[in-house]
Structure 1
């Protein structure tokens, strides 16, 4: 990290590099690699806990010993597999073991290890980048969000069932290091039926994450992979960037519009609407896409 900063210091001083994004997990996102496609995972599988290497097993054993319950020094044996559904498992189903004494111990430990990892990496990054703005990307794990356990979030390291706020402990750590949070918003890659079967709620998760981040005083940005081909999608992004009727006047720090190059060459892209969208994001126009 220090070598990178020294190599590009001049660009930072000239303002060409305004922030540096630090990867904290799979795909550069703050999470465990719980849903690897190379291991056969497919949407909407719940994923698997990543706690079986030598280091994690040693740490889990020590934590269980400290609690006085050495028989808790194990990963769940009824949490299913990468492509299981939450209701198919004894751990994630309604009333499942995720909310038992053992389940709460294990999930606190599992999410805590991830938070400790975040603290260690960001402590080094803060020193290496010498005051430069640092961005951390948080994933959008929205499938099974409309169930009690939020299984896919749990395996990714976010202890966020319906009876607990799993993002605040993470955001307290990010606030400690004065991080800019980047929320990843994915597009409607799947049909309505597929998302219904996965009890998915992308917008519900996005608003929980953004509001929790703002409550902790974090600057929030969004990276969108949404294919913006119509006015409705532009309006949805604007509503996220500048929430209507918000008494605290929250807004995004920046918006990353990630699109593949061929997208911008398609004939159905209306550049006048794109221009209006950009002006609205900068506050130079009202949200009006109607001629």
Structure 2
């Protein structure tokens, strides 16, 4: 895979249309699997540099996303060493992203994962902000619901294991027999009530369950902590951000099973997002959150069995970030071209009658496509952009 810009003229014309709609800037994924595709520590940024020049010439801002997860092609080292990937309980590896167990292990041609990420991040990107990819889809989460392994919405997903870390943590607590994952947590497409671990009154809230989930979620926070510390060194003076996924299905159950398997220890009796917000605060990083366009009523009509509550989740996560005074940005999770979806985003962007005047610092629309540029859709998009600029 070569780092070359294709269809530059078509892209320029599309960006000119966005500029005419008073869009402030664009987000660009910068893929590790492209810039270091062939030879270790040989980075090719040619295509990205051309793209950034086009964007700057239009006087648009750039938010670069350092993307270390899978997208069509990666550095091929994983073919010879599948242990660099996460595995579920059955031992199936998942190449969506590197396991955090190799953050400090020299298994990437003599480099640790953190060293690889730091070297890639030393490029000067001339961006007004940098979003740091921390997991699958660039999100800080475990790859707990991979469609390529058969997961379908609204399955609870599966825990992804770092067995060495779990065993060491259990032994340090003198509870070596807890050094393995739960055996009754179901499979990718289970419902919470079908499992003894996630059902109401289930093992997730037992002594063992709390030990396991504390360990599992702390590994996630520690990974974000390590990578963001290096990002601040690499991009000194440039604002950084991290993205969280909106796991809104099963939110109206006690266990919040889909959130637990993704690494968010957020059952009904615990705030699982406050520790993440505090970690981001430590590094001066903004939070980028998804699914702000989704309405709970629509989810109940389309998937009543999912017991989803995207509005409740968005409110919880945004407030967790605002409570520690970090900037909050967002993006849509699904394709959005209708006024109802746009109005929901505007509602979340500046909550009505908030006594502290809290609001989103930015919103990224996903994504630029021929469908967006159709006349009717573009008219609705222009109205939405006007609203985001203050005409609420």
Shift of the 155–58 alpha-carbon distance from structure 1 to 2, 3 Å rule, reads same
1:87 aligns with 2:203: no
RMSD value, Cα = 2.0
* CA offsets 1:209-250 (integer angstroms, 9 cap, x no match): 001110011100011145443333222111100000100000
Work out the CA distance in 2 between the residues paired with 1:192 and 1:164.
24
Q: Is this contact kept in 2: 1:61–1:73, CA < 8 A? A: yes
Work out the CA distance in 2 between the residues paired with 1:188 and 1:234.
10
Aligned with residue 274 of structure 1, among 381, 386, 390:
381
- TM-score normalised by L of structure 1: 0.88
Partner SS for 1:261: coil
Work out the CA distance in 2 between the residues paired with 1:240 and 1:216.
18
Match of 1:201 in 2: 309
Report how many aligned residue pairs link the two structures.
Answer: 274
Work out the CA distance in 2 between the residues paired with 1:194 and 1:81.
23
Q: Is this contact kept in 2: 1:143–1:195, CA < 8 A? A: no
Aligned with residue 30 of structure 1, among 140, 161, 168:
140
Match of 1:179 in 2: 285
* CA offsets 1:50-102 (integer angstroms, 9 cap, x no match): 11xxxx22211121122222111110000001111111000000000000000
Q: Is this contact kept in 1: 2:292–2:330, CA < 8 A? A: no
Q: Is this contact kept in 2: 1:225–1:257, CA < 8 A? A: no
Work out the CA distance in 2 between the residues paired with 1:193 and 1:87.
21
Shift of 1:186: 6.7
Q: Is this contact kept in 2: 1:2–1:129, CA < 8 A? A: no
Shift of the 75–116 alpha-carbon distance from structure 1 to 2, 3 Å rule, reads same
Work out the CA distance in 1 between the residues paired with 2:336 and 2:136.
26
1:104 aligns with 2:210: yes
Q: Is this contact kept in 2: 1:148–1:161, CA < 8 A? A: yes
1:128 aligns with 2:238: no
Work out the CA distance in 2 between the residues paired with 1:20 and 1:177.
13
For structure 2, the residue ranges without an aligned partner over 5 or more in a row are 1-116
Give matches, 1:113-152, under 5 Å.
113-152=219-258
- TM-score normalised by L of structure 2: 0.66
Q: Is this contact kept in 1: 2:292–2:348, CA < 8 A? A: no
Shift of 1:33: 0.4
Partner SS for 1:221: strand
Shift of 1:258: 1.3
1:21 aligns with 2:131: yes
Work out the CA distance in 1 between the residues paired with 2:293 and 2:318.
17
Q: Is this contact kept in 1: 2:197–2:203, CA < 8 A? A: yes
Match of 1:249 in 2: 357
Aligned with residue 152 of structure 2, among 42, 52, 72:
42
Work out the CA distance in 2 between the residues paired with 1:120 and 1:81.
30
Work out the CA distance in 1 between the residues paired with 2:251 and 2:348.
19
For structure 1, the residue ranges without an aligned partner over 5 or more in a row are none
Work out the CA distance in 1 between the residues paired with 2:275 and 2:122.
32
Greater RCO, 1 or 2 (C-alpha within 8 Å, sep 6+): 1
Shift of the 88–270 alpha-carbon distance from structure 1 to 2, 3 Å rule, reads same
